[in-house]
Amino acid sequence: MIREIIVVEGKDDTTAIRRAVEADTIETGGSAINEGVYRRIERAQATRGVIIFTDPDHAGERLRKLISARVPGCKHAFITQEEGRKRDDIGVENASPETIRQALSRVKSEYREVPSEISMGDLMAAGLLVHARAAERRLFVGNALGIGYANGKQFFNRCKMFQINRQEFTEAVAAMEAALGERDKPNE
């Protein structure tokens, strides 16, 4: 049994989580979260802890940010869009039990107001900002780090929030460069 309560978007997500692990969930009912749900999440965080496990899409990321801003100290589980894709639908409900277990084994904790080992300059040097393929590169590195996809500013904030250290960042960037290989080298 997972100690923390997992916050998901809907009942299909709860079903998928329970196929993978023994856990309690709170369903937000989608991205239109109401005050009663916030109070339940706050209570869960105070008593058992919370893992936010939303869909890897815009609505899921928006919901993750709203909950995280309202309820500090939450943990976060992420899957990639590919892991949550079923035809044209993307969501936790489509992930395999093994993918869900892996995501929960890589849970990241929030840390606020902590200096980061990673700077915006590091992101620029790695081609994660101001690069023709920065979004694709952030997607790869974010998935390698287990923090998911985000725009440049949010990616930097996640590196700070989840205390990504220089070694794990460097390893993720090296893996990205190896995977992209020749097709990402500048034209000479």
For residues 154 and 93, membership in a common domain is answered with no
Tell whether the model's pLDDT for residue 163 goes beyond 80.
yes
For residues 104 and 137, membership in a common domain is answered with no
| Residue that terminates a domain, selected from 110, 145, 169 | 110
Q: How many domains, in total, are found in the chain?
A: 2
| Residue that terminates a domain, selected from 110, 141, 175 | 110
The pLDDT, as a whole number, for residue 183 is 53
Name the residue range of residue 72's domain: 1-110
For residues 100 and 162, membership in a common domain is answered with no
For residues 101 and 181, membership in a common domain is answered with no
Reduced to 3 states (helix: H, G, I; strand: E, B; else coil), residue 52 is strand
Mean pLDDT of 15-26: 97
Residue 27 exposed, middle or buried by CB count within 10 Å (0-12, 13-18, 19+) = middle
Alpha-carbon distance of 48 to 21, in angstroms, equals 17
Tell whether the model's pLDDT for residue 179 goes beyond 50.
yes
Beta-ladder partners of 76: 52, 108
Mean pLDDT of 112-129: 88
The pLDDT, as a whole number, for residue 49 is 96
Prediction pTM value: 0.78
For residues 103 and 138, membership in a common domain is answered with no
For residues 137 and 150, membership in a common domain is answered with yes
